[in-house]
Amino acid sequence: LQYVLDNFYPNWGESTIHESSPSNKFISNYATNYTASQYIPEIPFGSMHDNGFRSENLENLTLESNSIDVFVTQDVFEHLFEPRSAAQEIARVLSPGGIHIFTAPKHKGVKSSFRMAKLLENGTVEYLIHPPEYHGNPVGDGKSLVTWRYGDDFEYLLSHWSGLPVTVYQTRDWGLGIYAEFN
């Protein structure tokens, strides 16, 4: 993430930045106008939690339209029940010329992305692929349900959902520690 920001958006530290579900303080240490949020459903969306994070739902953001220059999500989109809504909301809050920079796992051999779980109207989760898969989560019980498995069509889907162009920066560099199975 830092590599892409430094090389393709060099003045990022002076931008209005919002990060959803940060796992560390890296970006906040270098940004002068930074806010962060977590999905905390027991706290009204748009308000601050005592942990210093704003409570937000990416699928229905309370942020002002055209207010964010750089929107960051790291390994979040595979945990959203409605990533289309999140992509549209992020596009809405981006200022003209703003960017959404993100990471999400793409799985080798998966041609078409697919939903692994969905949220039913009664609030229960239907698991379409069993057993349920979880990743770590910096809040709550530490578990985050994987709801989507992304494949070769992910960039197209994200562009279609958001209405914005998508550029992929695929970097493998052992010296920078950038080399991963889902890169």
Digit-coded pLDDT (tens) for 100-124: 999 899 898 999 999 999 999 999 9
Tell me the C-alpha to C-alpha distance, in Å, between residue 120 and each of 24, 87, 89: 32, 21, 21
Low-confidence ranges of the chain (pLDDT < 50): none
- What pLDDT score does 177 carry? 72
Q: What is the spatial distance between Cα 67 and Cα 143, in angstroms, rounded to a whole number?
A: 31
- What pLDDT score does 179 carry? 67
- What pLDDT score does 180 carry? 63
Q: What is the spatial distance between Cα 159 and Cα 33, in angstroms, rounded to a whole number?
A: 27
- What pLDDT score does 181 carry? 64
Q: Where are the alpha helices (DSSP H) in the chain?
A: 2-8, 26-30, 83-93, 154-162
Q: What is the spatial distance between Cα 48 and Cα 42, in angstroms, rounded to a whole number?
A: 12
